[in-house]
Structure formats: structure tokens, C-alpha cells
Chains A and B, each alone.
Chain A
Amino acid sequence: MNAMNLAFKLNVKLAWTQTLSLWRAGAIRVLVFALVLAVASITAVSFFTQRVETALNQQGSLLLGGDLAISSDHPVTDQFEKRAETLGITTVKTYEFPSMVVYGGANQLTEIKAVGPGFPLRGDLTIGQEANTGHVVKATPKVGEAWVEPRLAHLLGLRVGDEVEVGARKLRVSAILLREPSRGGDMFSFAPRLMMNAADLPSTKLIQFGSRVKYQLLLASAPKSIQNYFAQTQPELSRGEKIEDVRNARPEIKSALDKAQQFLGLSAMVSVILAMVAMLLSSLPYIKQSLDTFALMRCFGASQHTVLQVLAIQTLFIAFFSAVLGVVLGFCAQFVLANVAGSLFLDVLPPVTAMPVLVGILASLAMMFAVVLPHVWQMRNLTAMNILRRETLTESISVQVKFLPAALVMGAMVFWQAHDMKLALSTILAISILCVAIIIISYGLVSLTNRLFNQSFFSGSFGQRQVINSIKIGVLSLKHRFSLSTVQMIGFSMGLMVLILLALIRGDLIRNWQASLPLDAPNRFVINIQTSASWWSKSFL
């Protein structure tokens, strides 16, 4: 065990020394730079979308007053509550309906909300004794009490301590309700709010057959339990019942975020493709030097296990440190994104979480190993003498196999970033068509040029013949290394294609969005204008 530990420590030390030496010698700088760039773009997008998503989820929970809400136009089925109990999910029932509230001789149409104990499950309420000072509470009105919004207090001339009539029940106003996040963004909730204890509801005698009541069962628990509950309950919903979660609490922002995430994800994808092409092309000096090192190590008595372990650790070092640099860059870049685009979604974005860091590190490892793996596969069969004699990679593995892991990783990343099967498949199909087209065009061009320069009719001065001979040698070299040349051409073409595509799509997206709105689409609304005041509003406009 000790010997194994010692050997491992030695291999780590060797890998570290060699990584540093390769860096100093400039053999891995382009590779590292490409990797850092790819990780930075992936993590920047991931950090940003995760912040917006977290904010949306938090807002969604506050708006719902829980993680999940079952709303119904009839009392919520008991089995839904029992299921929640079984899964250890906290629940609370609420009832919302419009009704008249009477105080003295005045009455006012009011949005009554009767809440059970434990409301709100998420977020809090702000109440006070007056309309301009308040404190945060996580509580409900006591039995026989009511909290009223400042507007209701103003309309009815209510003060704390006064008694209001709600149906057949008299309730004492014990606080002014200053803020209720779960009041929501329903633009047709015009009536002011009165909140009361659900235990007082029967005595009001307001809920009768045919009453328009919104019955709600709010639920809160760990995300996994909520997901389970959602999955089990959704198919069982009957007429008049609906289930809402934090994702659809603000559908307008969610939809914008989905689009932004898709676009940013694909932009990150472009940088990943470019970076991987750069990595593949720049990995050759790294591989060559590594092979030389490992051949010598074999010569000096290192076992194959040692050699492969050192290479694996070395690859891990490069992937890890590039990932760290990339994550730091991505973290800085997401601030720019948040400043530029964050305010389009929400006022304040929550802090970042660790998930994008993990994503960056995993992506870095996947990309690095995709580049190195084929060479490791080759190395397995090479003796020290093979490498020292430069009987290296070209014959023992085909170019297609060499680039297969990189292509697979790129494909996986397209699926991951596109968030849409159709889009991912179209992207992959387009890339495949591009590859085939380039192979055909390259082959055609090389064959044509080769045939052209092999014709004997070329004559002329010594200088001209020398130029033609140089071109012949160049074309022959291209022909002999056709696979590698094609891969290089594919790489550069793909790089150019995605850059052009991105530039086009960027403008196209904005133009499409602008085209979807009529030129005279209003961006301000004035409502509740009486006929008598219409002349004033027209002159104001």
C-alpha cells in the first residue's frame, strides 16, 4: 500500500513537473488558451442563466406563497392533501373571493383572502399600525381579526382597532397589511385586500352554493418531493383544477429567459466548437512532446501503467487549471452579461451558485480527454523503439478515429446547450452536411490541382519551373496528408461558418422580435377612465 502511495506521489510529481515544463516550453499554451476560452464562455452563460432562474424561482415561490399551488373552483380534493402529508410536504389552505366589506355606513367591494395557519409557506408579510410604518411577520391574522390594505382603510376610513363586517361576521382590524408578495401580478385584481383567518370563514356565511371562490392548497418542501408530488398529481387534476409551480409563476419572463438561454447557450456552443477545433490542431506539439517523454520513460524503465498514469494526471492538471482560469473569466464575464441583459429580466439578481463551476470543470475535463484519449489509445501499442524511431501516430490510427471523441463531445454539448431536440439535431445535421461538403470539395480541388500540375505542357524559364515544382510538392503533400488537411479545412470552415451564423442570427433575432410588435403597439395603459374624463385623457396624450 505504501509502495503504491509512493509510486502515485511520484507520478503526480512527474506529471506536475512535466506540465510546468510543457507550459514553459510553449507546447501547451494555445491548447490551454482554447480550453480557458471554452470554459469561460460555458460558465459565463451558465452563471448568468442560473442567476436569472434562481431569481425567477424565488419570485415564483413568493408569488405563489409556496413551492406549488393547486387552485380550484371547488374545494380541493382531500386526496391531494393526504398525498402531501404522506410525502412530508407542508400544506396550507387559502380561500379567495370578492365580497362587500361594511364599516359604519360605507361599504366596499374587497378581495377577501382567508388563510389557514402557517400561511405564507414561502416569503413573509409586512404589517403595521399605520400605512407608512411596518414590520415583517410570518404570521396570519388571529381568529376574529382582519388585516386590511391601506387602500381599503383609506376608502372606508378604517383605523386599527375598528370593527368591520364581513358577511355575517364582525372582525376587528388588528393591522394594516402593507405588503403581500403572493398578491401576485394579476392585473385584474383591482379590489383592495382584506386578509382574515380561515377559521372565521364559516361564521361569515359568505361561502354558499354557487359562490365564486378560488380554493387553493399551497405546498412547500424540498425540490425533489415537490417534483414527485407535481408528477403524481398533475395527471389526476379534474375540471376546474390547475396546478402551478414556480416555473410558470411568471410565464412572460420564463419565456424570455428560455429564448435567451438558448441563444446564449448556442453562442457558448460556437466558442466550444471553435475552441475544440483550436485544441485539436494545437494538441499536436503537446502530444508529440508527451510521446517523446513517455518513450524515454519507457526506455528508462517506466511501466506502461506509470506512463499512462502520468499522462492522465498531466491531462487532469491541464484540464483543471484551465477550468479554474476559465471559471474565473466566466465569473467576471457574467457580471457584464448581468449588467447588459440582467436588468431586462429582473431588478436584482441573486448571487451565483457553485453549479456552473462544476459544469465548467466537467466540460474542461470532457474536452481535454476527448483530445488526448485517441493518442493514449495509440500509445498503448507503441514500444519505446517505435516512438524513438518516429514510427508514431499516423499509421496506427485513422484520422476519423482520432477525432471521433472530440466530435462526440461536441455533439453532446450541442444537445446540452440547445435545450431543444429539434434545434440540436438540426445543428448536428448542418455540421455533418458541412463536413461532407468540405471533404468532397477538398478532394475535388486536390485531385484537380494535382492533375493540372502534372501535365507536361508546363514549360518556361528555370524560375517558372521552380515555382511549378514547389506547387507540385505542396499539392503532393496535401494529397499524402489528405485526411489531416481535410480535418484542418473542416475546422477552419466550421469556425468561419459559426461566426457568420452567429452574426446573422443575432441581428435576425432582434429583427424578428421587433417585427412581431406593430409599430404603434402601446407600452403604457391607462384604465378605468370615465366617459366624462375621456376628453381630458385625449388632450393629455
Chain B
Amino acid sequence: MQSPPVVQALDLNYEFVSNFNSHDNHIRILQGLNLTIVAGEQVAIVGSSGSGKSTLLSLLAGLDVPTSGSVRIQSQAFSNLDEDGRAAMRAKSMGFVFQSFQLLPSLTALENVMLPLQLKSHPDAKALSLEALNKVGLSNRVQHYPKQLSGGEQQRVAIARAFATQPAILFADEPTGNLDNATGQLIIDLLFKMNAEAGTTLVLVTHDVHLANRCQRQLKLENGVLNELATA
């Protein structure tokens, strides 16, 4: 039996206005894009630089709104909610891993992992965060600030933060983009290991063919539309 759709994009269009030489230019990034991702799927979105991969991810995660079309998350209308409505949905179901880690420099590793849990008023925020940091092998670095950690360690903190809230969907934007090959490999292994353990739906955007190959589905974004590449 087919799993229910977790993420759906229906006739998604996105364009923005660029002001160049005092002229407004309408640039279309996505053109009538459709996508369905079912629960537990691992989906890689690939494409050239500037093709709109990160934009698509931000629309699916409700960080931005489409020019037209809609996004449904767990069968609920999502993109037409207001900012606070989308934020509530993100808090309930989503986790994020960013290319530039997006750790707060003024917070320790533990405080960074605790932040989304605290926002959900989770009573065991500290215990869960320590457990997540332990899983990513950073139990001895919990009181370190991001600047005291290597790039790989920072991304591990970000992964711990993403999984600590036990999200239904994990959005990862170029998770190895700022790392060397060896560290990137370790991070990929960790990401997939934790994803398998948690049974999370994974949607990732990447340039990295090796990383994309680890996913069950690969979609290429070209000229504003998605094309299925292969199924693992």
C-alpha cells in the first residue's frame, strides 16, 4: 500500500523582480512545478547553480511563499497560511540542516540544539539535546561555542538540532556544501544513519552526486520544472 503524501507541490510558480539598471526585470524561477513526496522517502533535488533548488526547498518548508500554486504538508494546505501559521506547522513537523550550519555564535552547542525544543516548550529539552549531541559524537563538546568547533563538528551540531525535535520531514540544503570531501562523507553517513533510525522523510538539495545517489529518488530541477532522474 502506497504511503500517504507528506509533501505536495501543486502547479508551483515563483518569480521575483530584479532591479537592474533602473529597470524591473521579472525572473521566473519555478514554472508550474508539481511534486509529491511520501512518508519516509529520501528525495534529492539536484540542478545547476541558480536553477532554484534552494528556492524550491524554502517554498516547501514555508520559509517563503510561491507567486502562485500551493504546497500541502501532511495533506494540509500550507503555503496559503500566514507566516505564523506556517511557523506553527514547521515547529510541529519540520527540521532543517543548512549549508552554512546556521548555528548561533553566541550560544553553546548544547544551547543551539536546545533552541527549537525550548520554542516548543519541551519539558526535557536539555536531556533530549544531550542525547542528540551524544548520537552525533559530540558529548564532550556540548559547552563549546560554534567558533571553537570545526566545520564538520558544527554541521554535526546542526544535525543533532534537526533530529532533536523528532521531525516528520527533514529539509537539508547543501549539507556538505561547506565541508571537505572526507568530512562531507562522514556527515552524509551520519545524516542517513540518523534518518534511518528516526524514519524521517528527507528532502535534500545538493550538487553532490555521491550524496544524491544515496537517496531513493533524485529529481533534477531544470528551467523551473522537476524531472525524475532515477530511483534507487
Question: B106 — which chain A residues lie within 8 A by C-beta?
Answer: 18, 21-22, 24-25, 27, 289, 293
User: Is A388 a contact of B119 with CB atoms below 8 Å?
Assistant: no
In the bound assembly, the distance between CA atoms of A190 and B64 in angstroms comes to 89
Which of B63, B65, B89, B119 has the most C-beta atoms of chain A within 10 angstroms of its own C-beta?
B119
User: Is A383 a contact of B64 with CB atoms below 8 Å?
Assistant: yes
Of the listed stretches A9-17, A164-172, A523-531, name the one at the interface; the rest are far from the partner chain. Answer: A9-17
A26 nearest CB neighbor, chain B only: B106
Q: Is A305 an interface residue (CB 8 A)?
A: yes
Number of CB contacts from chain A to chain B under 8 A: 80
Question: A385 — which chain B residues lie within 8 A by C-beta?
Answer: 58, 63-64
A386 nearest CB neighbor, chain B only: B64
Contact with A along B95-130 (1 / 0, CB 8 A): 010100010111110010001101111000000000
Interface residues in A, total, Cβ within 8 A: 30
Question: B102 — which chain A residues lie within 8 A by C-beta?
Answer: 292, 296, 299, 388
Contact with A along B70-104 (1 / 0, CB 8 A): 00000000000001100111111010101000101
Given known contacts A299-B96, A383-B63, A385-B63, is B119 in contact with A21 (CB within 8 Å)? Answer: no
User: Is B119 a contact of A300 with CB atoms below 8 Å?
Assistant: yes
**A306's contact among B58, B63, B90, B119, by CB below 8 Å, is which?**
B119
User: Is A304 a contact of B119 with CB atoms below 8 Å?
Assistant: no
B85 nearest CB neighbor, chain A only: A303
Question: A300 — which chain B residues lie within 8 A by C-beta?
Answer: 90-91, 96, 115-116, 119, 165
Q: Is A384 an interface residue (CB 8 A)?
A: yes
Question: A303 — which chain B residues lie within 8 A by C-beta?
Answer: 84, 87-88
User: Is A305 a contact of B84 with CB atoms below 8 Å?
Assistant: yes
A18 nearest CB neighbor, chain B only: B106
**A10's contact among B63, B84, B118, by CB below 8 Å, is which?**
B118
Q: Is A297 an interface residue (CB 8 A)?
A: yes
Q: Is A256 an interface residue (CB 8 A)?
A: no
User: Is B91 a contact of A6 with CB atoms below 8 Å?
Assistant: no
User: Is B58 a contact of A301 with CB atoms below 8 Å?
Assistant: no
Q: Is B145 an interface residue (CB 8 A)?
A: yes
Question: B88 — which chain A residues lie within 8 A by C-beta?
Answer: 301, 303
Q: Is A7 an interface residue (CB 8 A)?
A: yes
In the bound assembly, the distance between CA atoms of A304 and B83 in angstroms comes to 8
Question: B105 — which chain A residues lie within 8 A by C-beta?
Answer: 25, 289
In the bound assembly, the distance between CA atoms of A10 and B121 in angstroms comes to 7
Residues 275-313 of A at the B interface (beta carbon under 8 Å): 289, 292-293, 296-306
Question: A299 — which chain B residues lie within 8 A by C-beta?
Answer: 63, 90, 96, 102
Residues 19-66 of B at the A interface (beta carbon under 8 Å): 58, 63-65
**B145's contact among A7, A25, A296, by CB below 8 Å, is which?**
A25
B98 nearest CB neighbor, chain A only: A388
In the bound assembly, the distance between CA atoms of A24 and B88 in angstroms comes to 31
Given known contacts A289-B105, A301-B92, is B83 in contact with A6 (CB within 8 Å)? Answer: no
B146 nearest CB neighbor, chain A only: A25
User: Is A388 a contact of B63 with CB atoms below 8 Å?
Assistant: yes
A23 nearest CB neighbor, chain B only: B106
Question: B91 — which chain A residues lie within 8 A by C-beta?
Answer: 300-302
Given known contacts A24-B106, A293-B104, A304-B83, is B118 in contact with A13 (CB within 8 Å)? Answer: yes
User: Is A384 a contact of B111 with CB atoms below 8 Å?
Assistant: no
Question: A7 — which chain B residues lie within 8 A by C-beta?
Answer: 121
Interface of A is mostly: helix
In the bound assembly, the distance between CA atoms of A266 and B139 in angstroms comes to 56
In the bound assembly, the distance between CA atoms of A289 and B165 in angstroms comes to 23
- Taking the closest CB of chain A, its distance from the CB of B128, in whole angstroms, is 14
Question: B94 — which chain A residues lie within 8 A by C-beta?
Answer: 301
Which of A7, A10, A14, A299 has the most C-beta atoms of chain B within 10 angstroms of its own C-beta?
A299
In the bound assembly, the distance between CA atoms of A302 and B98 in angstroms comes to 18
In the bound assembly, the distance between CA atoms of A296 and B165 in angstroms comes to 14
Question: A13 — which chain B residues lie within 8 A by C-beta?
Answer: 118
B63 nearest CB neighbor, chain A only: A385
**B104's contact among A21, A383, A384, by CB below 8 Å, is which?**
A21
Question: A305 — which chain B residues lie within 8 A by C-beta?
Answer: 84
Contact with B along A298-338 (1 / 0, CB 8 A): 11111111100000000000000000000000000000000
In the bound assembly, the distance between CA atoms of A186 and B89 in angstroms comes to 81
User: Is B120 a contact of A301 with CB atoms below 8 Å?
Assistant: yes
- Taking the closest CB of chain B, its distance from the CB of A256, in whole angstroms, is 50
In the bound assembly, the distance between CA atoms of A299 and B98 in angstroms comes to 11
User: Is A384 a contact of B116 with CB atoms below 8 Å?
Assistant: no
Question: B84 — which chain A residues lie within 8 A by C-beta?
Answer: 303-305
Question: B121 — which chain A residues lie within 8 A by C-beta?
Answer: 6-7, 10
In the bound assembly, the distance between CA atoms of A343 and B104 in angstroms comes to 54
- Taking the closest CB of chain A, its distance from the CB of B119, in whole angstroms, is 5
In the bound assembly, the distance between CA atoms of A293 and B107 in angstroms comes to 10
B92 nearest CB neighbor, chain A only: A301
- Taking the closest CB of chain A, its distance from the CB of B205, in whole angstroms, is 14
Given known contacts A302-B87, A302-B91, is B64 in contact with A296 (CB within 8 Å)? Answer: no
In the bound assembly, the distance between CA atoms of A10 and B117 in angstroms comes to 11
In the bound assembly, the distance between CA atoms of A18 and B104 in angstroms comes to 10
Which of B87, B92, B94 has the most C-beta atoms of chain A within 10 angstroms of its own C-beta?
B87
User: Is B92 a contact of A14 with CB atoms below 8 Å?
Assistant: no
**B119's contact among A6, A24, A301, A384, by CB below 8 Å, is which?**
A301
In the bound assembly, the distance between CA atoms of A300 and B91 in angstroms comes to 5
In the bound assembly, the distance between CA atoms of A292 and B121 in angstroms comes to 21
B94 nearest CB neighbor, chain A only: A301
Residues 508-534 of A at the B interface (beta carbon under 8 Å): none
- Taking the closest CB of chain A, its distance from the CB of B102, in whole angstroms, is 6
Given known contacts A27-B106, A292-B104, A305-B84, is B111 in contact with A297 (CB within 8 Å)? Answer: no
- Taking the closest CB of chain B, its distance from the CB of A363, in whole angstroms, is 27
**A298's contact among B87, B98, B120, B165, by CB below 8 Å, is which?**
B87
B122 nearest CB neighbor, chain A only: A10
In the bound assembly, the distance between CA atoms of A17 and B119 in angstroms comes to 13
**A14's contact among B118, B145, B165, by CB below 8 Å, is which?**
B118
Question: B64 — which chain A residues lie within 8 A by C-beta?
Answer: 383, 385
Residues 79-124 of A at the B interface (beta carbon under 8 Å): none
In the bound assembly, the distance between CA atoms of A6 and B118 in angstroms comes to 11
User: Is B90 a contact of A383 with CB atoms below 8 Å?
Assistant: no
The 5 A-B residue pairs whose C-beta atoms are closest, nearest first, are A301-B91, A21-B106, A300-B116, A25-B106, A385-B63
Chain B interface residues (CB < 8 Å from chain A): 58, 63-65, 83-84, 87-92, 94, 96, 98, 102, 104-108, 111, 115-116, 118-121, 145, 165
Apart from the given pairs A21-B107, A299-B96, A301-B87, 7 other A-B contacts in the complex at a CB distance below 8 Å: A7-B121, A24-B106, A292-B102, A296-B115, A300-B119, A304-B87, A388-B98
Of the A-B pairs whose beta carbons lie under 8 Å apart in the complex, a sample of 27, sorted by A's number, is A6-B121, A7-B121, A14-B119, A17-B107, A24-B106, A289-B104, A289-B105, A292-B104, A296-B104, A296-B115, A297-B115, A300-B165, A301-B87, A301-B88, A301-B89, A301-B94, A302-B91, A302-B119, A303-B87, A303-B88, A304-B84, A304-B87, A383-B63, A383-B64, A385-B64, A388-B98, A388-B102
